[in-house]
Amino acid sequence: MVILGIDPGLANTGWGIVEERRGEVRCRAYGCIETSSGSDLAARLRRIADELTAVVDRYRPQEAAVEGIYFGANVRSAIPTAHARGAALVACSLCGVEVGEYTPMQIKQAVVGTGAADKTQVTYMVRTLLHLDHDPKPDHAADALACAVCHAHLHRTRELSGGAYTQEKGNPYA
Amino acid sequence: MVILGIDPGLANTGWGIVEERRGEVRCRAYGCIETSSGSDLAARLRRIADELTAVVDRYRPQEAAVEGIYFGANVRSAIPTAHARGAALVACSLCGVEVGEYTPMQIKQAVVGTGAADKTQVTYMVRTLLHLDHDPKPDHAADALACAVCHAHLHRTRELSGGAYTQEKGNPYA
């Protein structure tokens, strides 16, 4: 299964494409959509939606996984991220790609083994798990790949359990 | 000029269409897009974007005005609104409709004359200014009409000042 991971942000939205086959997860591509603070908000959100649509058209993921917002953030920093997240979710839905949502803690837990992991540990584990010969950069792309890996693990767990382990049970956002 | 006002919310997104001609503002239509908490987030946001697109297709507004988020809100209540707002802004941009953004205080100031106005006062003034023979309901639709009226006033002020009064000067979101 091909999975699109998304780490939404107004200035930087990371994306990563991974392919899961019999428990083996490989990286196909990753990148970061940058929008300029000089543009108006609607144009920036449109750009995020357009670029994600282009990624879906190119790599044809069957499912997407989007990182959630840390509820401990303050309103002023959470709102632009939530705007970008809304744009990303609309883009996925318009492309017909089903979306799983994961908290930052769930992603760290899945990739590093602890919800308290820092950025360096996440990047290191993404590199190791995806057999990359370099650190995926920028951090937003690494986080998007981590989100896709988290979704791949859950997909594999569901497959092995014959569907008994559902996303609803594992995902407080669902 | 035909203006689409939007009061975004995940469960209820109000919309209103007004027409401004030589300082006279009239109501053309209004409504509210409801999404069920039983659906997943991406589907709810997609529905908001789709319904707003249908409103634009039907009434052909030249410009849109979107209410901003009150920064005093807490993160948990602000995030769903910001998701909906992101979806609404992407829909407007995809339709080629330029968007003005206004804080709740700016809208109350424009419609009631004070930023401290309550919902009843806003609804009463929207009804009066738009010569309606009834209160526009629900509140989300009244707020969307208020946002459109606010934009119409600004548009009129810009016209009368020969463009000297720009939205940038009047709008902290711009």
Best A46, A47, A56, A75 residue to mutate vs chain B (most B CBs within 10 Å): A75
Annotated catalytic residue, options B7, B51, B63, B101: B7
What pLDDT is attached to residue B4? 98
Average pLDDT for chain A? 91
Q: What is the pLDDT of residues A82-105, one digit of tens each?
A: 999 999 999 999 999 999 999 999
The per-residue DSSP string of B56-111 comes to HHHH--SEEEEE---TTS-HHHHHHHHHHHHHHHHHHHHTT-EEEEE-HHHHHHHH
CA-nearest of B115, A67, B132 to B123 is: B132
Is position B139 annotated in a ligand binding site? Answer: no
Distance, CA of B18 to CA of B131 (rounded, Å): 12
What pLDDT is attached to residue B126? 97
Q: B41 CB near a chain A CB, below 8 Å?
A: yes
What pLDDT is attached to residue B163? 63
Mean pLDDT, consecutive 10-residue segments, chain B of 174 residues? 97 97 93 94 97 98 94 84 97 96 94 91 96 94 97 84 56 38
Contacts of A45 (CB under 8 A, 6+ apart): A10, A83, A84, A86, A87, B86, B89, B90, B93
- The percentage of chain A sitting over the pLDDT mark of 70, rounded to a whole number, equals 93
Distance, CA of A158 to CA of A154 (rounded, Å): 6
Query: Residue B41 is nearest to which of A40, A43, A89, comparing CB atoms?
Result: A89
Q: What residue spans define the domains of chain B?
A: 2-170
**Looking at this predicted complex, what is its ipTM?**
0.87
CA R_g for chain B: 15
Please list every residue in chain A whose beta carbon sits closer than 8 Å to the beta carbon of residue B10: none
- Three-state DSSP at A84 gives helix
Instruction: Read off the pLDDT band of A169 (50, 70, 90).
Output: very low
Task: Assess whether A67 carries a catalytic annotation.
Answer: yes
**What are the structure tokens assigned to B121, written together?**
């006062």
**Closest chain A C-alpha to B138 CA, distance in angstroms:** 24
What pLDDT is attached to residue B9? 97
Please list every residue in chain B whose beta carbon sits closer than 8 Å to the beta carbon of residue A73: 75
Counting one residue from chain A and one from chain B, the pairs whose CB atoms sit within 8 A come to 106
Distance, CA of B141 to CA of B137 (rounded, Å): 6
Query: Residue B79 is nearest to which of A41, A43, A69, comparing CB atoms?
Result: A69
Is A83's CB within 8 Å of B82's CB? yes
**Closest chain B C-alpha to A134 CA, distance in angstroms:** 33
Is A83's CB within 8 Å of B93's CB? no
Best A4, A79, A99 residue to mutate vs chain B (most B CBs within 10 Å): A79
User: Helix, strand, coil % (nearest 5) of chain B?
Assistant: 50, 20, 30
Is position A118 annotated in a ligand binding site? Answer: no
What pLDDT is attached to residue B174? 32
Check if CATH label 3.30.420.10 holds for domain B2-170: yes
**Closest chain B C-alpha to A97 CA, distance in angstroms:** 10
Distance, CA of B53 to CA of A39 (rounded, Å): 22
